[in-house]
A and B are shown apart, each in its own frame.
Chain A
Amino acid sequence: MPGHTDKTYEAELQGLRDKLLAMGGKVEAAIASSVRSITERDVELAGKVRASDAEVNRMEVEIDNACRRLLALRQPAASDLRFITTALKIVTDLERMGDLAVNIADRAQDLAQAPQLGPQLGPLHDLSTLADLSEAQLRKALDAFVERDVVKAEEVMSGDDHLDALYLKLFNDLLALMIEESRVIRRATALLFAAKHLERIGDHATNVAEMVVYMVRGTDVRHPRSRAEKG
């Protein structure tokens, strides 16, 4: 593909792409750390997640500004227009994922005050797996974005079912635990919230993937069911 005749424009678009990736990388790291702060009862790590979120928020504002500037000054068209509008949307998803990581880290701080959930380590293990899955979904969605890879994006979209299934299992296990032993309700609920946040992170990764399909193909693949009802 030939580059833009205006090299400054080309550099501005590349700069936007780099910023989004840097932000995505930060969010990925925050998700991993937040869950680790629960499983390893690491309050300090939880604090770091909260601190890094300020940086993520700053990046969101910076990316928003870059997009607005490009729209106003360059009047982008075709694939450039689709790239910039995609950037504007996925930056919101990334920022929300960052917030969810902070929420998970907050649960870590609560849990660290209470005794370890003794023999029932199963849910903790599943929570780690859920974190790995959601993080991998985000990474793959970002790869699809950089490589303009629709196949990868579609894998993310179909991969969300695994996440949902594991979340449901975790939900049922924690529920069983609470029925059995009312003293663990507070701690089990904290884990349930963390699991729910990870499941939501997976949904945001799916949003990113859907936008990548739009960016590359120009076709909107969101909400197929509501569109079928309408059409």
Chain B
Amino acid sequence: MRVERLQAYFHDNHVLRDVTIDVPPLSVLAVIGPSGCGKSTFLRCLNRMHELVPGARAEGSVTLDGEDLYARGVDPVRLRRRVGMVFQRPNPFPTMSVHDNVAAGLRLNGWRGDLGQIVERCLRRAALWDEVKDRLRQSALSLSGGQQQRLCIARALAVEPEVLLMDEPASALDPIATAKIEELMHELKERYTIVIVTHNMQQAARVSDHTAFFYMGELVEAGPTERMFTNPREQRTEDYVTGKFG
């Protein structure tokens, strides 16, 4: 995935300025930065969710396998199947069972095959199968917060995306549920490209291969995570990761 000269606005507010970055395939990119730096907006530009907010628009290009996601004629709904998203708070469909939550996306797309097999595969990939295999017909809300979040990951995987966007996926979870999500990310990156936004710098350091630091709408620095946390090149990155801001 390649992002080139991306600009994003909320009305007259220029919230992302000229961002150019490569998202390496089959790896985890962590996006860090203080509140309001544009990191969530950046994430939401990658599957064109940013433009869903009234008054929001974006310019520039985001290419996936050489195809510009912002080109005329691209269907944002189809695009979002290729670039899935997981949010901060687990948001399973509350009236649906565990099974139906995972199957929902496929049903919506008119899938008429063996759902059971796909549901099992997705739940396995989301490291949730063993915990829920005997309660597939129960309400998704009967699961714990951490399980619900992995259910949302399974739901996102069901439509076979190439890229998975995660916006603070563990910030509402306890340390053990967080560790499970982080462990899961290591497995998922073998099949998917992952971009995660996180406030937790240790989490970024733990889960990612590359890290991008945003500040006031600008991409200040991006590079291998180890370098970003041991020897960043930019003073602003240094100040942020050592806790010298504000």
**Are A78 and B241 also in contact (CB < 8 A) when A5-B246, A218-B230 are?**
yes
Asked whether A78 lies within 8 Å of B245 as measured between CB atoms, the reply is no
For window 198-246 of chain B, which residues contact chain A by CB distance below 8 Å?
A: 201-202, 205, 229-232, 237-239, 241-246
Asked whether B202 lies within 8 Å of A78 as measured between CB atoms, the reply is no
Chain B interface, DSSP helix/strand/loop, else mixed: helix
Across the interface, name the chain B residue whose C-beta is closest to A13. B242
**Are A5 and B238 also in contact (CB < 8 A) when A78-B231, A82-B231 are?**
no
Asked whether A2 lies within 8 Å of B230 as measured between CB atoms, the reply is no
Asked whether A77 lies within 8 Å of B239 as measured between CB atoms, the reply is no
Across the interface, name the chain A residue whose C-beta is closest to B237. A78
> What distance in Å separates the Cβ of A4 from its nearest Cβ neighbour in chain B?
5
- Bound together, the chains give a CA A70 to CA B241 distance in angstroms of 15
Q: Which residues of B contact A6 (CB under 8 A)?
A: 243
**Are A77 and B242 also in contact (CB < 8 A) when A82-B230, A82-B231 are?**
yes
- A76 contacts B by Cβ under 8 Å: yes
Q: Which residues of A contact B242 (CB under 8 A)?
A: 4, 76-80
> What distance in Å separates the Cβ of B17 from its nearest Cβ neighbour in chain A?
23
For window 150-203 of chain B, which residues contact chain A by CB distance below 8 Å?
A: 201-202
- Bound together, the chains give a CA A80 to CA B231 distance in angstroms of 10
Asked whether B243 lies within 8 Å of A4 as measured between CB atoms, the reply is yes
Per-residue interface assignment for chain A, residues 92 to 129, with 1 indicating a CB less than 8 Å from any chain B CB and 0 otherwise: 00000000000000000000000000000000000000
Asked whether B202 lies within 8 Å of A75 as measured between CB atoms, the reply is yes
- Bound together, the chains give a CA A6 to CA B201 distance in angstroms of 16
> What distance in Å separates the Cβ of A14 from its nearest Cβ neighbour in chain B?
14
Asked whether B244 lies within 8 Å of A4 as measured between CB atoms, the reply is yes
> What distance in Å separates the Cβ of A114 from its nearest Cβ neighbour in chain B?
54
Per-residue interface assignment for chain A, residues 1 to 34, with 1 indicating a CB less than 8 Å from any chain B CB and 0 otherwise: 1111110010000000000000000000000000
> What distance in Å separates the Cβ of B75 from its nearest Cβ neighbour in chain A?
42
- Bound together, the chains give a CA A75 to CA B237 distance in angstroms of 16
- A81 contacts B by Cβ under 8 Å: yes
Across the interface, name the chain B residue whose C-beta is closest to A218. B231
Q: Total A-B residue pairs with C-beta atoms closer than 8 Å?
A: 41
Asked whether A5 lies within 8 Å of B245 as measured between CB atoms, the reply is yes
Task: Report, as a range, how many residues of chain B touch the other chain.
Answer: 10 to 19
Per-residue interface assignment for chain A, residues 71 to 89, with 1 indicating a CB less than 8 Å from any chain B CB and 0 otherwise: 0000111111110000000
Q: Which residues of B contact A76 (CB under 8 A)?
A: 242
> What distance in Å separates the Cβ of B181 from its nearest Cβ neighbour in chain A?
19
Asked whether B243 lies within 8 Å of A2 as measured between CB atoms, the reply is no
Q: Which residues of B contact A77 (CB under 8 A)?
A: 201, 205, 229-230, 241-242
- Bound together, the chains give a CA A81 to CA B232 distance in angstroms of 12
Q: Which residues of A contact B231 (CB under 8 A)?
A: 78, 82, 217-218
- Bound together, the chains give a CA A28 to CA B130 distance in angstroms of 63
Q: Which residues of A contact B202 (CB under 8 A)?
A: 75
Q: Which residues of A contact B246 (CB under 8 A)?
A: 5
Q: Which residues of A contact B237 (CB under 8 A)?
A: 78
Asked whether B229 lies within 8 Å of A2 as measured between CB atoms, the reply is no
> What distance in Å separates the Cβ of B178 from its nearest Cβ neighbour in chain A?
15
The contact of B229 among A4, A5, A78, A217, by CB within 8 Å, is A78
> What distance in Å separates the Cβ of B201 from its nearest Cβ neighbour in chain A?
7
> What distance in Å separates the Cβ of A206 from its nearest Cβ neighbour in chain B?
22
Q: Which residues of A contact B230 (CB under 8 A)?
A: 77-78, 81-82, 218
- Bound together, the chains give a CA A3 to CA B242 distance in angstroms of 10
Across the interface, name the chain B residue whose C-beta is closest to A85. B230
Across the interface, name the chain B residue whose C-beta is closest to A217. B231
- Bound together, the chains give a CA A2 to CA B239 distance in angstroms of 8
Q: Which residues of B contact A80 (CB under 8 A)?
A: 242
**Are A3 and B241 also in contact (CB < 8 A) when A78-B230, A78-B231, A82-B231 are?**
no
Across the interface, name the chain A residue whose C-beta is closest to B239. A2
> What distance in Å separates the Cβ of A148 from its nearest Cβ neighbour in chain B?
13
Q: What residues of chain B have their CB less than 8 Å away from a CB belonging to chain A?
A: 201-202, 205, 229-232, 237-239, 241-246
CB<8 Å pairs between A and B, sample of 10? A4-B242, A4-B243, A4-B244, A5-B246, A6-B243, A77-B201, A77-B205, A78-B237, A79-B242, A82-B230
Taking A3-B244, A78-B237 as known contacts, 15 extra A-B pairs with beta carbons closer than 8 A to each other, sorted by chain A number, are: A1-B244, A2-B244, A2-B245, A6-B243, A77-B201, A77-B230, A77-B242, A78-B230, A78-B231, A78-B232, A78-B242, A79-B238, A79-B242, A82-B231, A217-B231
